[in-house]
């Protein structure tokens, strides 16, 4: 392996400033993976935490091989490539854990324990460490050690059964619901709650976040709706799944689409007036017998103008109608521009850090940097050089 200096190859782009944001002073070790854990690492970094992403010494990312400037799974971090099969590599990580506040990993149950890097191994050195575990099925249960992806967890949570057209098959909602909604957001909630409790007790704990659990929790209301008899367990026949003609998408004259979401009577009345929607549809919003013909009537009217023409008509109103924008169009929408909802990092336009804070800064993460300085984790530059020369730390 080619040797290099630990102090070389610094990026010209800056990462999120660890002295800005509500999490300033918090140190995080992120074990490299895909999906929910990397997004959590980015968000923690942009809220001010110092995040070191630990990768294999020779990482393989065949199906996600993107340029560094576009690789948001790494932005905002120091990247440290470590030979965790070596005793020296494992000892390095355990020593970093002595100074860390959070470690988060997304491996199958037992992987970190087999490496000698499980919660108990770190707790023996740092009882205050919060150990975040992100899996598909959780740490225990018949499926705990099984492989899966977002769609797998949505299927087993019941959520996927509700997404798709009436009479059609279930439709994958990208990987937003399982990976990021049920995964990242619940992992972050657990980590931050554990930080608050540690402030009272001085002790860390293990956070067990499972995507199947999180996806189920996102569907909490629908369990209640079903029991109450106001939700049918059949796709495309309910208020929020495209079953209602006033909560659906429609094609416009130019082949684009509008999102119509006028659920409440006052919003539907405004929509009906502006469309206009003829009687008896306009005055019988919730009469399910009329819904098939109401849908056809709405579709016919919306095909008469282009998406932008309809947007001009509906934008100043409470009709709850919006153009279906592409990602690039969303970045240029007047509302998003007024809120500075997107930022440019190099040649990449991406969402700005969220949420926003009244008295703390958040800084958009820049290109990842080699982990050439781990002094805040208790590893000085001399030792870094020695570990590089020994092959424990890679390029």
Q: Name the residue among 371, 47, 358 with its Cα closest to residue 191.
A: 47
In DSSP terms, which residues pair with 29 in a beta bridge?
Answer: 52, 103
CA 76 to each of CA 11, 34, 73, 363, 366: distance values in angstroms, whole numbers, following the listed order = 11, 16, 9, 9, 5
Pairing of strands 102-105, 27-31: parallel
User: What is the C-alpha to C-alpha distance for residues 154 and 214, in angstroms, rounded to an integer?
Assistant: 10
User: What is the C-alpha to C-alpha distance for residues 165 and 169, in angstroms, rounded to an integer?
Assistant: 7
User: What is the C-alpha to C-alpha distance for residues 153 and 319, in angstroms, rounded to an integer?
Assistant: 35
User: What is the C-alpha to C-alpha distance for residues 370 and 373, in angstroms, rounded to an integer?
Assistant: 9
Sequence-distant (6+) residues with CB within 8 A of 204 are 123, 126, 127, 128, 129, 130, 131, 194, 198
User: What is the C-alpha to C-alpha distance for residues 298 and 341, in angstroms, rounded to an integer?
Assistant: 32
Would you please indicate which residues are annotated as catalytic (active-site) residues?
149, 179
Sequence-distant (6+) residues with CB within 8 A of 298 are 245, 246, 250, 260, 275, 277
CA angle 125, 144, 89 (to 5 degrees): 35
Pairing of strands 321-323, 257-261: antiparallel
DSSP for 294-363, written as a single string:
HHHHHHHHHTTS-HHHHHHHHTTSSS-EEE---HHHHHH-HHHHHTT-EEEETTEEEEPPSS--SSS---
């Amino acid at each position: 392996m080619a040797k290099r200096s630990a102090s070389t190859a610094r990026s010209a782009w800056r990462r999120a400033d660890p002295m800005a944001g509500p999490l300033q002073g918090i140190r995080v070790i992120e074990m490299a993976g895909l999906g929910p854990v990397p997004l959590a690492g980015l968000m923690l970094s942009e809220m001010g935490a110092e995040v070191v992403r630990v990768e294999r010494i020779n990482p393989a990312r065949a199906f996600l091989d993107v340029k560094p400037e576009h690789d948001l799974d790494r932005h905002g971090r120091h990247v440290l490539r470590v030979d965790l099969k070596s005793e020296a590599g494992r000892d390095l990580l355990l020593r970093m854990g002595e100074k860390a506040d959070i470690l988060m990993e997304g491996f199958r149950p037992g992987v970190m324990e087999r490496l000698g890097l499980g919660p108990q191994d770190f707790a023996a050195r740092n009882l205050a460490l919060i150990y975040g575990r992100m899996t598909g099925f959780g740490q225990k249960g018949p499926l705990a050690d099984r492989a899966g992806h977002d769609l797998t967890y949505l299927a087993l949570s019941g959520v996927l059964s509700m997404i798709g057209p009436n009479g059609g098959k279930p439709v994958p909602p990208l990987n937003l619901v399982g990976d990021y909604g049920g995964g990242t957001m619940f992992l972050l909630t657990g980590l931050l709650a554990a930080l608050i409790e540690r402030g009272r007790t001085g002790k860390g704990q293990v956070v067990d976040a499972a995507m199947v659990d999180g996806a189920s929790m996102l569907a909490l209301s629908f369990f209640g709706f079903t029991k109450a008899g106001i939700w049918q367990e059949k796709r495309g026949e309910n208020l929020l799944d495209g079953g209602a003609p006033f909560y659906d998408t429609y094609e416009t004259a130019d082949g684009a689409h509008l999102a119509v979401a006028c659920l409440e009577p006052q919003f539907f009345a405004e929509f009906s007036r502006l469309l206009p929607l003829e009687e008896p549809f306009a005055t019988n919003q919730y009469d399910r017998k009329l819904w098939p013909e109401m849908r056809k009537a709405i579709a016919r009217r919306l095909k008469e103008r282009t998406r932008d023409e309809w947007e001009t008509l509906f934008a100043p109103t409470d009709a709850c109608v919006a153009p279906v924008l592409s990602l690039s169009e969303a970045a240029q929408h007047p509302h998003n521009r007024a809120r500075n909802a997107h930022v440019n990092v190099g040649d990449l336009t991406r969402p700005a850090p969220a949420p926003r804070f009244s008295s703390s800064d958040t800084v958009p993460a820049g290109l990842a940097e080699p982990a050439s300085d781990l002094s805040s984790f208790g590893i000085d530059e001399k030792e870094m050089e020695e570990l590089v020369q020994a092959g424990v730390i890679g390029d």
